[in-house]
Chains A and B, each alone.
Chain A
Amino acid sequence: MKQLIIKGGRVIDPACNYDRAADVLLKDSLVEKIEPGLEAPADAVIIEAEGLIVTPGLIDIHVHLRDPGQEYKEDIHSGTRAAAAGGFTALAAMANTDPVGDDPAMIGYIRKKAAGAAARVYPLGALTKGLAGKEMAELGRMKFAGAAGFSDDGKPVMNGMLMRNALHYASGIGAVVIAHEEDLHLAAGGMMHEGTVSSILGLRGIPSVAEEAMISRDLMILKITGGRLHIAHVSTAGSVDLLRRAKAEGLNVTAEVTPHHLLLTDRLVKNSGYNTSTKVNPPLRTEHDRQALWKGLLDGTIDAIASDHAPHHTDDKDVEYDFAPCGIAGLETTLPLMLDELASGRIKGFTLPLLLEKLSSAPARILDLPGGSLKQGSPADVTVIDPERQFIIEPDKWYSKSRNTPFAGKRVKGAPVFTVVGGEITMKEGVVTERTAQG
């Protein structure tokens, strides 16, 4: 019988509207009790959390682990350690691996390899076979094998009829469909947001309408199919408007936004001198879009924050802008960046409970995952945060194999200091520790 007690912290559990100083007792990999002034059991491991924030284990529902197939960029081991270092206790892994995660055996491979890893891994299955956008993958069999949802992320489903059928079919098995919204004809080989900056830099642009047209299509399809649609990495003001209206109409849709879209704009592509760490899809948009994303996040139009952790090897990124792959690694920066933005006070109405909701209860709700709360009987997954801790983002010190971030060198305020998964410490003061459990 293993016990762990986290003493004296400010416990924030957005799922239960709980926010007060209390002790958290974890027992047998479940949350046992939350109360102020709990007596520490004799054999319990104690975490002193005076001055710290104690919150349900954070969940990142948009991660590329690159395993199998591109283990030189990341693998399940390094990716889950990076998650633990970044304060995440669970993550959902996208299916654009090699081979593609489009059948039950692949879901089984990931679950098996991730057993006992530093973070829980929820595999997402491909929506279409081989991510080819031609035939529906075996959603039901993958769900039985443990797929948490389905997505062709990295690619859109260009065929509207296939999207209709997939959403409709998925509604029958109660599965969520996650959509990467991008009209490939409108995006036409773009490298960055289409606008003033792309005009000056002479880089082909990805217009906002490439995203908005596809979101419009899928919202209209959702109206006739029913089911659950989740929009990945929303990036434009127009998309936020579309989602706001859809939610007002009662459509069963959710959405996520990444830290880089909340914090950066296309200006950085120019100001960094074509630095390929700014190349990402969807691209960094304008200040107008960025403000709209914040507004959407604060008013509930956007449900969750997800990293879209897209690790790449330095060799892949250290090339001409045209030739670099898209993606920003975010597992080890997401929480600190958001805490830093919170500390800066720049965003009116942005609060710590709101931030933690977007990183814990909301992602759990979107994928119907067991965590995301500290109520009694929940998985003993906890993140402990020091809102005052300042550090500089140094990719060379990451647990991830990747280094690709436009935030390198940025000084941030706020960091996770303990990550606990199933009642076991996976990260202590920035150092990732191995778990003994296999679950």
Chain B
Amino acid sequence: MQTLRRKDMLGLEEVSAEEINLILETSRSMREIMQRKIKKVPTLRGRSVLNLFYEPSTRTKASFELAQKYMSSDSVSVTGSSSSLVKGETLKDTVRNVEIMGIECVIMRHPASGSSHYLAHNVEASVINAGDGMHEHPTQGLLDMFTIWEKKGRLENLKVTIVGDIRHSRVARSNLWGLQKMGAEVVVSGPPTLMPPDLDAFGVKYYHDLEEAAEGADVVMALRLQKERQESGLFPSMREYAELYGVTPQKITRAREDLLIMHPGPMNRGIEISSELADGPHSVVLEQAASGVAVRMALLYLLLGGTKEQ
């Protein structure tokens, strides 16, 4: 049985297309387990996982915890408010102390870019990045790809339009790397002030005009807009943003008929995405959440190197 030949999952930039394929294939088996009446396999029985969340999270945290339960691993969750961070303990000390208790895998969300690299460097446990600052959120990228792959049967030669705050988005970065590795074409749209300083670094095309960006798109993905970006002067107002860059049916008329509408959540309805689309027939927003559990089960399995027998 194949496993991932790596200790950590820190970002999709450093993962190969073969590895992504393996994760997607494995996720499909995991998806099948989730559809059973008794959603539990003993695969990771006796294995210990730490969920360490230095930032608030509902979806990702619930998704990881459920994935762990369905795989029968033992897990503890530590969140920002209860963590020793507030007591002045360093990240390294915190994790080393828990690691010595027998933790083999750490799932971490952290506000600082690169913090998962730092952690991976300092512990023997596998580290899964659940979002580090503005850097990457690889499991989100994987679950987005899995959702598309399940719906379309492929990723190759699909056109994916990502709209919004690419600059500060770890979700966007993971998707940009992952989707392109799998042969999809990715274009981005949004205000210039919300684009990374060097978009060429990712090899994607930028369109100021959303209608143009969505031309022939198989997938349109809206990103969450943080209120603080407006406060720091990157665009004038939420209503202007909604008018220019909010994903609405009117702006994506040139997309393909079998278009998928995606959003990593949580959504600001009426700002970056209209409810009409979020709840409409093209939306796969809820499927994304379900995919999340399957992908995380697959990743835990592949990193902790469990056996295939269930």
- Chain B residue nearest to A274 (CB atoms) is B114
Contact between A199 and B198, CB atoms less than 8 A apart: yes
Contact between B112 and A322, CB atoms less than 8 A apart: yes
Contact of B236 with A by CB under 8 A: no
Contact of A146 with B by CB under 8 A: no
Contact between B111 and A322, CB atoms less than 8 A apart: yes
C-alpha spacing A196/B199, complex, angstroms: 8
Residues of B within 8 A of A199 (CB): 196-199, 201-202
From A194, A195, A201, A318, B114 is in contact (CB under 8 Å) with A201
Contact between A322 and B197, CB atoms less than 8 A apart: no
Shortest C-beta distance, A314 to chain B (Å), equals 11
Contact of B200 with A by CB under 8 A: yes
C-alpha spacing A353/B108, complex, angstroms: 53
- Chain A residue nearest to B167 (CB atoms) is A199
Contact of A320 with B by CB under 8 A: yes
Contact between B13 and A200, CB atoms less than 8 A apart: yes
Contact between A202 and B90, CB atoms less than 8 A apart: no
Stretch of B55-63, B129-137, B145-153, B208-216 on the interface side? B129-137
Residue-wise, chain B 108-137 has the 8 Å CB interface mask toward A (1 for contact) of 001111110110010000000000111110
Contact between B198 and A195, CB atoms less than 8 A apart: yes
Shortest C-beta distance, B196 to chain A (Å), equals 4
Contact of B290 with A by CB under 8 A: no
- Chain B residue nearest to A315 (CB atoms) is B90
The SS class assigned to the A binding surface is loop
For the complex of A and B, the 9 pairs showing the least CB-CB separation, nearest first, are: A274-B114, A202-B135, A202-B134, A322-B112, A199-B196, A320-B112, A202-B113, A196-B201, A196-B198
Residues of B within 8 A of A203 (CB): 113-114, 133-135
Contact of B242 with A by CB under 8 A: no
Residue contacts A-B, CB under 8 angstroms, 19 given: A196-B200, A196-B201, A198-B197, A199-B201, A200-B13, A201-B135, A202-B133, A202-B173, A203-B114, A205-B197, A273-B114, A273-B121, A274-B114, A274-B117, A320-B110, A320-B115, A321-B115, A322-B113, A322-B133
Residue-wise, chain A 310-334 has the 8 Å CB interface mask toward B (1 for contact) of 0000000011111100000000000
- Chain A residue nearest to B10 (CB atoms) is A273
Contact between A318 and B198, CB atoms less than 8 A apart: no
Interface residue range, chain B: 20 to 34
Task: List 16 additional contacts besides A198-B197, A203-B114, A323-B112; criterion CB under 8 Å.
Answer: A194-B197, A196-B198, A197-B201, A199-B197, A200-B13, A200-B202, A201-B114, A202-B132, A202-B134, A203-B134, A273-B121, A274-B114, A319-B118, A320-B115, A322-B113, A322-B115
Contact between A201 and B202, CB atoms less than 8 A apart: no
Residue-wise, chain B 170-192 has the 8 Å CB interface mask toward A (1 for contact) of 10010000000000000000000
Contact of A207 with B by CB under 8 A: yes
Residues of B within 8 A of A195 (CB): 197-198
Q: Which of B114, B135, B201 has the most CB of A within 10 A?
A: B114
Residues of B within 8 A of A200 (CB): 13, 173, 201-202
- Chain A residue nearest to B135 (CB atoms) is A202
Residues of B within 8 A of A198 (CB): 197-198
A-B contact count (CB 8 A): 73
Shortest C-beta distance, A278 to chain B (Å), equals 11
**Interfacial residues of chain A within 283-325, with CB under 8 A of chain B in the complex:** 318-323
Contact of B6 with A by CB under 8 A: no
C-alpha spacing A204/B133, complex, angstroms: 10
Shortest C-beta distance, A273 to chain B (Å), equals 5
Contact between B200 and A320, CB atoms less than 8 A apart: no
Contact of B91 with A by CB under 8 A: yes
Contact of B154 with A by CB under 8 A: no
C-alpha spacing A201/B117, complex, angstroms: 11
C-alpha spacing A191/B196, complex, angstroms: 15
C-alpha spacing A198/B91, complex, angstroms: 23
Residues of B within 8 A of A207 (CB): 197
Residue-wise, chain B 200-232 has the 8 Å CB interface mask toward A (1 for contact) of 111000000000000000000000000000000
Contact between A273 and B196, CB atoms less than 8 A apart: no
Shortest C-beta distance, B224 to chain A (Å), equals 16
Shortest C-beta distance, A206 to chain B (Å), equals 11
Shortest C-beta distance, A399 to chain B (Å), equals 27
Shortest C-beta distance, A266 to chain B (Å), equals 11
Q: Which of B91, B136, B196 has the most CB of A within 10 A?
A: B196
Contact between B197 and A273, CB atoms less than 8 A apart: no
C-alpha spacing A273/B199, complex, angstroms: 21
Residues of B within 8 A of A194 (CB): 197
C-alpha spacing A197/B13, complex, angstroms: 13
Residues of B within 8 A of A323 (CB): 112
Contact of B92 with A by CB under 8 A: yes
**Interfacial residues of chain A within 199-231, with CB under 8 A of chain B in the complex:** 199-205, 207
Given the contacts A320-B112, A322-B112, A202 and B118 also touching, CB distance less than 8 Å? no
Residues of A within 8 A of B115 (CB): 320-322
From B90, B118, B198, A321 is in contact (CB under 8 Å) with B118
Contact between B197 and A274, CB atoms less than 8 A apart: no
C-alpha spacing A195/B170, complex, angstroms: 17
Residues of A within 8 A of B202 (CB): 199-200
Contact between A320 and B196, CB atoms less than 8 A apart: no
Shortest C-beta distance, B194 to chain A (Å), equals 13
- Chain A residue nearest to B90 (CB atoms) is A319
- Chain A residue nearest to B111 (CB atoms) is A322
Residues of B within 8 A of A201 (CB): 113-114, 135
Residues of A within 8 A of B91 (CB): 319-320
- Chain A residue nearest to B195 (CB atoms) is A199
Residues of A within 8 A of B118 (CB): 273-274, 319-321
Given the contacts A199-B201, A203-B114, A273-B117, A318 and B170 also touching, CB distance less than 8 Å? no
- Chain A residue nearest to B134 (CB atoms) is A202
Shortest C-beta distance, A389 to chain B (Å), equals 33
Q: Which of B118, B121, B132 has the most CB of A within 10 A?
A: B118
Residues of B within 8 A of A321 (CB): 112-115, 118
- Chain A residue nearest to B119 (CB atoms) is A320
Residues of A within 8 A of B114 (CB): 201-203, 273-274, 320-322
C-alpha spacing A202/B133, complex, angstroms: 7
